[in-house]
Amino acid sequence: MKAEQELLHTVESKAKAWTSELFDEDTRKAVKNMLESNPDELIESFYKDLEFGTGGLRGIMGPGTNRVNKYTIGMATQGLANYLLASFAELKTISVAIAYDCRNQSKFFAETTANVFVANGIQAYLFESLRPTPELSFAIRELGCQSGIVITASHNPKEYNGYKVYWDDGGQIISPHDEAIIAEVANIQTIDEVKFSGGTAKIMALGKEMDDKYLKEVKSLSLNPELIKKYSDLKIVYTPIHGTGVELVPNSLKDFGFTSVFNVPEQDVTDGNFPTVISPNPEEKAALNMAIQKAKEVQADIVMATDPDADRVGIAVNNGDNEFILLNGNQTGSLLVYYMLNEWKNKGLLKGNEFIVKTIVTSPLFSEIANSYGVNSYEVLTGFKYIANIIKEKEGHEKFIVGGEESYGYLAGDFIRDKDAVMSCALIAEVAVWAKSKGLNMMELLDEVYVKFGLFKEHLISIVRKGKSGSEEIAAIMENLRSNPPLTLAGSDVVMIHDFRKQKSVDMISDLRYDIKLPKSNVLQFLTQDGSIISIRPSGTEPKIKFYFSTRKKIDSAEELKAAHKSLEEKIQKLVVDIGAQ
């Protein structure tokens, strides 16, 4: 009780500072209301400062130090501006590119960001209207900017918004810049340190010209334009789920040569409240319901749904009976890797120095496919910024073909350094055409992959724990797994434990320890004797902890698939119980 009273006293002191004339009238009024009659909301809004993490900010919109608003955005931008001015002091002009998505207040936050930059003497390029996140990455590289910002909370609920920071290579910030920027942002102690007004005349608009350059590069990725001509009437249903893909995804599909693209009119409406879905997350089946209904009406071959900032795409495919099967991110990514490596080989493009990249929680099937084609496969921490960094490190020595992560994000080519649903939609449609030319639908093509490389089956469980108590509970789960690791899972001995926070691996058979040569991350991974992999990590962007399950089984023919699927499903259920992810 005493601790709660002390917390409330601290929170009240912080909140009262937000009732001064430094803050706008609406903010002052809302904070006064919390002080007078809503202590629970007051605590959630002020009990901590919204953390500027290794990628930027993400949180619930509203007044308070633990919320996304003009002032927390402004302080973050001022800290970043200070770091840019110090890092690029030798440049005559420092520039940044800024994009934003469909969310409530995104445009306002983007304009606020641009104003703070120009007030600090930094050139700001601001997209004239909402744009996909990957185009922001492209624009940074195209314009030679030193940094970039996109205002988005990706697929989070409508209450959220965010602020993602990019560096001059077009990838999201990583070490050493992330920690240094965090320190600069932390140095901004009060709102009066922020230069909010820079004059809109100093902000340059980005529009169709950048779109055209971007789409031209995307089109260059097509490996089989003649095949698309033959099957140009492949029926595609696409939905942006009220988000930024609404124009560029259909335009990209058209550029590739697809002529039968159907939209979902109700979801083409740009709306940060996402009125037709519970959640705008293409990982969730319900988000694709309207598109699948449309697909059944037109007897489409494939359904595509992009998240609000159009960097991730969910897929559903016709099984041949006008029934639509949702593919998970591992399955879609595996098909993309299989197609691209196969066609690179057939066209004589493989020279022996090519590579793909996957994250540590993405299916090992990616690597199995790459190895069969003599293509290197690199593994990185969760987060596409690490895939971008590998591309940067290998530039000039090895050729990047494709990369991806289980959470529905993929990238091909090296002219963008973030996951890209615009190019992914076009390339996945090309995979569907390739399958069709072989007399297969996408499910049958996936079965072909399984017979060649083995059946890999994955499962994800996300446990949501909101607020201060939720953060503490998630921390306790991780600590318990570290202190009391399981020795067996689903009847198979745990043979290796990777602790990415400690950067140590333990061989449970030999009891030898090995260093992990990846950056620190709060992730645990358990490998079993039978090839199963269980990974546990708290989300870096949402109030949840994620459990990833990966299982595998070698098969010799398609006739074995049904029994193998059942066997692995049963194993996953046992793993879920044994690891405590219920």
At 111, which CATH number? Answer: 3.40.120.10
Phi, psi angle pair for 116, to nearest 5°: -65, -40
Structure tokens at 490: 């689903």
Structure tokens at 380: 């990185």
Cα 284 to Cα 303: distance, rounded to the nearest angstrom = 14
Cα 232 to Cα 222: distance, rounded to the nearest angstrom = 14
- Whole-number pLDDT of residue 471: 86
Residue 466 has pLDDT above 90, yes or no: no
Cα 518 to Cα 381: distance, rounded to the nearest angstrom = 7
- Whole-number pLDDT of residue 2: 67
Please identify, among 144, 176, 206, the residue that sits at the C-terminal boundary of a domain.
206
User: How would residue 468 be classed by pLDDT, with cut points 50, 70 and 90?
Assistant: confident
- Whole-number pLDDT of residue 541: 65
The b/e string for 204-223 (b: 16+ C-beta within 10 A; e otherwise) is eebeeebbeebbeebbebbb
At 344-353, the pLDDT tens digits run 999 999 999 9
Task: Give the max Cα distance, the chain.
Answer: 74
The position carrying tokens 């560096």 is 167
Residue type, position 474, single letter: I
For the chain, how many structural domains are there in total? 3
Assess if residue 11 is contained within a domain.
no
Share of the chain above pLDDT 70, in %: 99
494 touches 150 (CB < 8 A):
no
Tell me: do 466 and 433 sit in the same domain.
Answer: no
- Whole-number pLDDT of residue 358: 98
Indicate if the alpha-carbon torsion angle 350, 354, 357, 363 is positive or negative: positive
Tell me: do 496 and 447 sit in the same domain.
Answer: no
Closest to 302 measured CA to CA, from 283, 287, 319: 319
Backbone region of residue 521 per phi and psi (left: phi > 0; alpha: psi in -120 to 50; beta: other values):
beta
Got the DSSP string for 34-79?
Answer: HHHH-HHHHHHHHSSPPP--SSEEEEEBSSSTTSBSHHHHHHHHHH
Structure tokens at 162: 């965010």
* 352/56: higher pLDDT: 352
Please identify, among 413, 438, 453, the residue that sits at the C-terminal boundary of a domain.
453
Please identify, among 453, 478, 506, the residue that sits at the C-terminal boundary of a domain.
453
User: How would residue 549 be classed by pLDDT, with cut points 50, 70 and 90?
Assistant: very high
Tell me: do 264 and 146 sit in the same domain.
Answer: no
Mean per-residue pLDDT over the chain, rounded: 95
At 416-461, the pLDDT tens digits run 999 999 999 999 999 999 999 999 999 999 999 999 999 999 999 9
At 367-393, the pLDDT tens digits run 999 999 999 999 999 999 999 999 999
Assess if residue 36 is contained within a domain.
no
Identify the domain containing residue 67 by its residue range.
48-206
Which letter does DSSP use for residue 249 in this model? H
Structure tokens at 374: 């003599």
Tell me: do 201 and 247 sit in the same domain.
Answer: no
User: How would residue 155 be classed by pLDDT, with cut points 50, 70 and 90?
Assistant: confident
Helix (H/G/I), strand (E/B), else coil: 279: coil
Tell me: do 411 and 532 sit in the same domain.
Answer: no
At 82-128, the pLDDT tens digits run 999 999 999 999 999 999 999 999 999 999 999 999 999 999 999 99
User: How would residue 1 be classed by pLDDT, with cut points 50, 70 and 90?
Assistant: low
Assess if residue 402 is contained within a domain.
yes
Residue of 154, 334, 407, 521 marked catalytic: 154
Parallel, antiparallel, or unpaired: how do β-strands 376-380 and 354-359 relate? parallel
At 288-319, the pLDDT tens digits run 999 999 999 999 999 999 999 999 999 999 99
Residue 487 CB burial class (10 angstroms; 0-12, 13-18, ≥19): exposed
At 192-250, the pLDDT tens digits run 999 998 777 789 999 999 999 999 999 999 999 999 999 999 999 999 999 999 999 99
Tell me: do 65 and 118 sit in the same domain.
Answer: yes
Structure tokens at 167: 């560096």
Q: Which helix (H) or strand (E) holds 211?
A: helix 208-219
384 touches 409 (CB < 8 A):
yes
In the residue annotation, 154 being an active-site residue is answered as yes
Taking CA atoms, 490 is separated from 116, 257, 314, 482, 523, in Å, by: 55, 48, 30, 19, 21
Packing angle between helix 177-186 and helix 70-87, nearest 10 degrees? 120
Its pTM stands at 0.94
Assess if residue 15 is contained within a domain.
no
Average pLDDT over residues 51-80: 92
Helix (H/G/I), strand (E/B), else coil: 339: helix
At 502-512, the pLDDT tens digits run 999 999 999 99
**Roughly how many angstroms between the first and final C-alpha of the chain, as a whole number?**
32
Tell me: do 472 and 377 sit in the same domain.
Answer: no
At 179-203, the pLDDT tens digits run 999 999 999 989 999 999 877 778 9
Helix (H/G/I), strand (E/B), else coil: 425: helix
Tell me: do 57 and 161 sit in the same domain.
Answer: yes
Residue 159 CB burial class (10 angstroms; 0-12, 13-18, ≥19): middle
Tell me: do 460 and 449 sit in the same domain.
Answer: no
Assess if residue 7 is contained within a domain.
no
Residue 411 has pLDDT above 70, yes or no: yes
Tell me: do 466 and 399 sit in the same domain.
Answer: no
Closest to 533 measured CA to CA, from 383, 376, 330, 332: 330
Cα 232 to Cα 259: distance, rounded to the nearest angstrom = 6
Tell me: do 427 and 286 sit in the same domain.
Answer: yes
Assess if residue 5 is contained within a domain.
no
Assess if residue 320 is contained within a domain.
yes
> Per DSSP, what are the bridge partners of residue 433?
none
